Structure 1
Amino acid sequence: MPQRSLKLARCLLVLVPVAAWAAWLGWDQHRDVHPDGSVTGPYEAWQVIGLVVTLLAPVYWAASRRHVADAVLATTAGLTAAAFYDWSDDASGLFLVGVGMVMTASLMATFALSVLIASVTRPGRRSEPGPTGA
Protein backbone atom coordinates (compact mmCIF):
# COMPACT_ATOMS: atom_id res chain seq x y z
CA MET A 1 0.00 0.00 0.00
CA PRO A 2 1.48 3.39 -0.93
CA GLN A 3 2.58 5.56 1.99
CA ARG A 4 -0.05 8.24 1.33
CA SER A 5 -2.86 5.68 1.21
CA LEU A 6 -1.61 4.11 4.42
CA LYS A 7 -1.70 7.48 6.21
CA LEU A 8 -5.25 8.09 4.99
CA ALA A 9 -6.30 4.61 6.12
CA ARG A 10 -4.81 5.24 9.57
CA CYS A 11 -6.70 8.54 9.89
CA LEU A 12 -9.92 6.82 8.90
CA LEU A 13 -9.28 4.02 11.37
CA VAL A 14 -9.17 6.64 14.15
CA LEU A 15 -12.15 8.65 12.88
CA VAL A 16 -14.51 5.69 12.41
CA PRO A 17 -14.62 4.81 16.14
CA VAL A 18 -15.20 8.47 17.03
CA ALA A 19 -18.06 8.74 14.54
CA ALA A 20 -19.49 5.39 15.65
CA TRP A 21 -19.39 6.50 19.29
CA ALA A 22 -21.25 9.69 18.37
CA ALA A 23 -23.83 7.78 16.34
CA TRP A 24 -24.48 5.02 18.86
CA LEU A 25 -23.74 6.55 22.27
CA GLY A 26 -23.05 10.27 22.02
CA TRP A 27 -26.65 11.39 21.68
CA ASP A 28 -27.96 9.52 24.74
CA GLN A 29 -27.27 11.42 27.96
CA HIS A 30 -30.47 10.50 29.82
CA ARG A 31 -30.27 8.27 32.89
CA ASP A 32 -33.22 6.06 33.81
CA VAL A 33 -34.57 6.29 37.36
CA HIS A 34 -36.38 3.14 38.45
CA PRO A 35 -39.27 2.97 40.98
CA ASP A 36 -36.90 1.69 43.67
CA GLY A 37 -34.72 4.78 43.24
CA SER A 38 -31.86 3.05 41.43
CA VAL A 39 -30.38 4.80 38.41
CA THR A 40 -29.09 3.14 35.24
CA GLY A 41 -27.80 4.36 31.95
CA PRO A 42 -27.35 6.40 30.01
CA TYR A 43 -26.66 3.62 27.49
CA GLU A 44 -28.77 0.60 26.67
CA ALA A 45 -27.23 -2.74 25.75
CA TRP A 46 -28.37 -2.46 22.11
CA GLN A 47 -26.39 0.78 21.73
CA VAL A 48 -23.15 -0.76 22.94
CA ILE A 49 -23.73 -3.86 20.79
CA GLY A 50 -24.35 -1.60 17.79
CA LEU A 51 -21.08 0.22 18.44
CA VAL A 52 -19.13 -3.04 18.66
CA VAL A 53 -20.71 -4.48 15.51
CA THR A 54 -20.01 -1.24 13.62
CA LEU A 55 -16.35 -1.38 14.60
CA LEU A 56 -15.94 -4.95 13.37
CA ALA A 57 -15.76 -3.79 9.75
CA PRO A 58 -12.77 -1.43 10.01
CA VAL A 59 -10.92 -3.78 12.37
CA TYR A 60 -11.46 -6.67 9.96
CA TRP A 61 -10.38 -4.53 7.01
CA ALA A 62 -7.11 -3.51 8.64
CA ALA A 63 -6.29 -6.84 10.29
CA SER A 64 -6.96 -8.86 7.13
CA ARG A 65 -4.37 -6.68 5.38
CA ARG A 66 -1.84 -7.43 8.15
CA HIS A 67 -2.11 -3.96 9.71
CA VAL A 68 -2.76 -5.38 13.17
CA ALA A 69 -1.05 -2.54 15.05
CA ASP A 70 -3.06 0.04 13.10
CA ALA A 71 -6.32 -1.77 13.79
CA VAL A 72 -5.59 -2.05 17.51
CA LEU A 73 -4.07 1.35 18.21
CA ALA A 74 -6.37 3.42 15.99
CA THR A 75 -9.55 1.82 17.29
CA THR A 76 -8.38 2.16 20.88
CA ALA A 77 -7.32 5.78 20.37
CA GLY A 78 -10.62 6.69 18.72
CA LEU A 79 -12.77 5.08 21.39
CA THR A 80 -10.67 6.50 24.22
CA ALA A 81 -10.82 10.02 22.79
CA ALA A 82 -14.59 9.76 22.24
CA ALA A 83 -15.19 8.49 25.78
CA PHE A 84 -12.99 11.20 27.24
CA TYR A 85 -14.82 13.94 25.33
CA ASP A 86 -18.28 12.51 26.08
CA TRP A 87 -17.70 11.96 29.79
CA SER A 88 -15.38 14.85 30.66
CA ASP A 89 -18.20 17.01 32.03
CA ASP A 90 -18.44 14.75 35.10
CA ALA A 91 -17.53 16.92 38.08
CA SER A 92 -16.47 14.00 40.30
CA GLY A 93 -13.47 13.15 38.15
CA LEU A 94 -14.42 9.48 38.18
CA PHE A 95 -14.94 9.63 34.43
CA LEU A 96 -11.20 8.97 34.12
CA VAL A 97 -11.75 5.53 35.62
CA GLY A 98 -14.38 4.80 32.95
CA VAL A 99 -12.14 6.15 30.19
CA GLY A 100 -9.33 3.92 31.43
CA MET A 101 -11.67 0.94 31.36
CA VAL A 102 -12.75 1.76 27.79
CA MET A 103 -9.11 2.08 26.76
CA THR A 104 -8.06 -1.19 28.40
CA ALA A 105 -11.03 -3.20 27.15
CA SER A 106 -10.80 -1.90 23.59
CA LEU A 107 -7.05 -2.50 23.51
CA MET A 108 -7.41 -6.10 24.66
CA ALA A 109 -10.46 -6.90 22.53
CA THR A 110 -9.14 -5.39 19.30
CA PHE A 111 -5.74 -7.01 19.83
CA ALA A 112 -7.25 -10.48 20.28
CA LEU A 113 -9.66 -10.01 17.38
CA SER A 114 -7.02 -8.56 15.05
CA VAL A 115 -4.55 -11.35 15.73
CA LEU A 116 -7.30 -13.92 15.12
CA ILE A 117 -8.38 -12.25 11.87
CA ALA A 118 -4.80 -11.90 10.63
CA SER A 119 -4.12 -15.55 11.37
CA VAL A 120 -7.17 -16.95 9.57
CA THR A 121 -7.23 -14.69 6.52
CA ARG A 122 -4.84 -15.21 3.69
CA PRO A 123 -2.63 -12.30 2.77
CA GLY A 124 -3.92 -10.40 -0.25
CA ARG A 125 -2.05 -11.39 -3.34
CA ARG A 126 -2.14 -9.80 -6.71
CA SER A 127 -2.75 -12.20 -9.51
CA GLU A 128 0.53 -13.00 -11.12
CA PRO A 129 1.03 -14.96 -14.27
CA GLY A 130 1.79 -18.61 -13.77
CA PRO A 131 5.05 -20.29 -14.80
CA THR A 132 3.81 -20.63 -18.37
CA GLY A 133 2.96 -16.93 -18.58
CA ALA A 134 -0.78 -17.64 -18.76
Structure 2
Amino acid sequence: MRRTFGRALAATLLVMVLSMADWAAWLGWDQHMDELPDGSVRGPYEAWQVIGLVGVLLVIGVVVARRVSAVAAVLGATLGMTAAAAYDWSDDASGLWVIGAGLVMLGTFVVSLFVAVLARFVRRPAH
Protein backbone atom coordinates (compact mmCIF):
# COMPACT_ATOMS: atom_id res chain seq x y z
CA MET A 1 0.00 0.00 0.00
CA ARG A 2 2.77 2.42 0.94
CA ARG A 3 4.73 1.67 -2.19
CA THR A 4 1.67 2.26 -4.40
CA PHE A 5 0.88 5.56 -2.67
CA GLY A 6 4.47 6.72 -3.02
CA ARG A 7 4.54 5.85 -6.69
CA ALA A 8 1.24 7.66 -7.30
CA LEU A 9 2.43 10.72 -5.38
CA ALA A 10 5.70 10.81 -7.33
CA ALA A 11 3.76 10.48 -10.60
CA THR A 12 1.39 13.29 -9.57
CA LEU A 13 4.30 15.60 -8.81
CA LEU A 14 6.04 14.64 -12.05
CA VAL A 15 2.91 15.35 -14.11
CA MET A 16 2.49 18.65 -12.29
CA VAL A 17 6.06 19.74 -13.09
CA LEU A 18 5.80 18.53 -16.70
CA SER A 19 2.51 20.39 -17.11
CA MET A 20 4.04 23.63 -15.87
CA ALA A 21 7.02 23.12 -18.19
CA ASP A 22 4.60 22.42 -21.05
CA TRP A 23 2.85 25.74 -20.36
CA ALA A 24 6.17 27.60 -20.20
CA ALA A 25 7.38 26.04 -23.46
CA TRP A 26 4.24 26.76 -25.48
CA LEU A 27 2.66 29.83 -23.86
CA GLY A 28 4.94 31.32 -21.24
CA TRP A 29 7.20 33.19 -23.61
CA ASP A 30 4.45 34.96 -25.58
CA GLN A 31 3.21 37.99 -23.65
CA HIS A 32 2.39 40.57 -26.32
CA MET A 33 -0.94 41.32 -27.93
CA ASP A 34 -1.11 41.61 -31.72
CA GLU A 35 -2.70 44.76 -33.15
CA LEU A 36 -4.87 44.12 -36.18
CA PRO A 37 -5.23 46.60 -39.10
CA ASP A 38 -8.65 47.73 -37.81
CA GLY A 39 -7.10 48.79 -34.48
CA SER A 40 -8.41 45.87 -32.44
CA VAL A 41 -6.06 43.54 -30.59
CA ARG A 42 -5.88 39.78 -30.20
CA GLY A 43 -3.68 37.35 -28.42
CA PRO A 44 -1.34 36.83 -26.84
CA TYR A 45 -1.56 33.17 -27.90
CA GLU A 46 -1.92 31.73 -31.38
CA ALA A 47 -3.94 28.58 -32.10
CA TRP A 48 -0.82 26.52 -32.88
CA GLN A 49 0.57 27.28 -29.41
CA VAL A 50 -2.56 26.06 -27.65
CA ILE A 51 -2.75 22.97 -29.89
CA GLY A 52 0.88 22.16 -29.03
CA LEU A 53 0.21 22.62 -25.31
CA VAL A 54 -2.81 20.33 -25.38
CA GLY A 55 -1.06 17.71 -27.53
CA VAL A 56 1.87 17.37 -25.15
CA LEU A 57 -0.47 17.32 -22.16
CA LEU A 58 -2.52 14.53 -23.77
CA VAL A 59 0.58 12.40 -24.29
CA ILE A 60 1.68 12.91 -20.67
CA GLY A 61 -1.81 12.11 -19.38
CA VAL A 62 -2.25 8.94 -21.41
CA VAL A 63 1.18 7.56 -20.50
CA VAL A 64 0.78 8.22 -16.77
CA ALA A 65 -2.83 7.00 -16.67
CA ARG A 66 -1.92 3.73 -18.40
CA ARG A 67 1.32 3.02 -16.56
CA VAL A 68 0.82 4.45 -13.08
CA SER A 69 -2.49 6.01 -12.06
CA ALA A 70 -5.41 7.83 -13.64
CA VAL A 71 -5.75 9.88 -10.45
CA ALA A 72 -2.11 11.00 -10.71
CA ALA A 73 -2.62 12.02 -14.33
CA VAL A 74 -5.73 14.08 -13.54
CA LEU A 75 -4.47 15.73 -10.35
CA GLY A 76 -1.01 16.47 -11.72
CA ALA A 77 -2.29 18.01 -14.94
CA THR A 78 -4.97 20.05 -13.17
CA LEU A 79 -2.63 21.38 -10.49
CA GLY A 80 0.18 22.07 -12.96
CA MET A 81 -1.94 23.90 -15.53
CA THR A 82 -3.72 25.92 -12.84
CA ALA A 83 -0.47 26.94 -11.16
CA ALA A 84 1.11 27.90 -14.49
CA ALA A 85 -1.91 29.97 -15.57
CA ALA A 86 -2.13 31.69 -12.20
CA TYR A 87 1.57 32.54 -12.24
CA ASP A 88 1.53 33.70 -15.87
CA TRP A 89 -1.58 35.85 -15.57
CA SER A 90 -1.32 37.16 -12.00
CA ASP A 91 0.16 40.50 -13.11
CA ASP A 92 -3.23 41.49 -14.58
CA ALA A 93 -4.36 44.49 -12.51
CA SER A 94 -8.06 43.90 -13.26
CA GLY A 95 -8.11 40.73 -11.19
CA LEU A 96 -9.80 38.77 -13.98
CA TRP A 97 -6.84 36.38 -14.06
CA VAL A 98 -8.50 34.57 -11.13
CA ILE A 99 -11.51 33.74 -13.30
CA GLY A 100 -9.23 32.66 -16.16
CA ALA A 101 -7.18 30.42 -13.88
CA GLY A 102 -10.39 28.94 -12.47
CA LEU A 103 -11.61 28.15 -15.97
CA VAL A 104 -8.24 26.57 -16.82
CA MET A 105 -8.58 24.44 -13.67
CA LEU A 106 -12.12 23.35 -14.52
CA GLY A 107 -11.35 22.63 -18.17
CA THR A 108 -8.15 20.76 -17.42
CA PHE A 109 -9.89 18.65 -14.77
CA VAL A 110 -12.81 17.68 -17.01
CA VAL A 111 -10.74 16.89 -20.10
CA SER A 112 -7.93 15.11 -18.24
CA LEU A 113 -10.49 13.01 -16.35
CA PHE A 114 -12.09 11.97 -19.64
CA VAL A 115 -8.70 11.19 -21.23
CA ALA A 116 -7.40 9.32 -18.17
CA VAL A 117 -10.53 7.15 -17.91
CA LEU A 118 -10.33 6.31 -21.61
CA ALA A 119 -6.59 5.61 -21.42
CA ARG A 120 -6.97 3.44 -18.34
CA PHE A 121 -9.98 1.38 -19.33
CA VAL A 122 -9.99 1.14 -23.11
CA ARG A 123 -8.07 -1.97 -24.02
CA ARG A 124 -5.91 -2.39 -27.07
CA PRO A 125 -7.22 -4.92 -29.59
CA ALA A 126 -5.65 -8.37 -29.41
CA HIS A 127 -3.38 -9.33 -32.29
Aligned 1:37-48 pairs, distance under 5 A: 37-48=39-50
Give the TM-score taking structure 2 as reference length: 0.88
How many residue pairs end up in the alignment? 122
CA deviations 1:52-82 (Å, max 9, x no partner) are 1111222011211361111111100000000
- Against the structure 1 CA distance between its residues 39 and 105, is the aligned structure 2 distance closer, same or farther, given a 3 Å change threshold? same
| 1:64–1:121 CA contact under 8 A, matched in 2 | no
Task: Give the alignment partner of residue 119 of structure 2, picking from 117, 120, 131.
Answer: 117
CA RMSD of aligned residues (A): 1.6
Deviation, 1:10, is 2.1
Give the equivalent residue in structure 2 for 1:20. 22
Q: Decide which structure has greater helix share.
A: 2
Q: Percent identity between the aligned chains?
A: 51
| 2:9–2:72 CA contact under 8 A, matched in 1 | no
Q: Which residue identity does 1:116 align to in structure 2?
A: L
| 1:21–1:79 CA contact under 8 A, matched in 2 | yes
Alpha-carbon distance in structure 1 between the residues aligned to 2:81 and 2:11? 17
* Unaligned runs of at least 5 residues, structure 1: 123-134
| 2:82–2:105 CA contact under 8 A, matched in 1 | yes
Higher RCO (C-alpha 8 Å, min separation 6):
2
Alpha-carbon distance in structure 1 between the residues aligned to 2:59 and 2:87? 24
Q: Which residue identity does 1:34 align to in structure 2?
A: L
Alpha-carbon distance in structure 2 between the residues aligned to 1:104 and 1:6? 22
Q: Which residue identity does 2:107 align to in structure 1?
A: A
Give the TM-score taking structure 1 as reference length: 0.84
User: Which one has a bigger Cα radius of gyration?
Assistant: 1
| 2:8–2:69 CA contact under 8 A, matched in 1 | no
* Unaligned runs of at least 5 residues, structure 2: none
Give the equivalent residue in structure 2 for 1:100. 102
- Against the structure 1 CA distance between its residues 3 and 70, is the aligned structure 2 distance closer, same or farther, given a 3 Å change threshold? closer
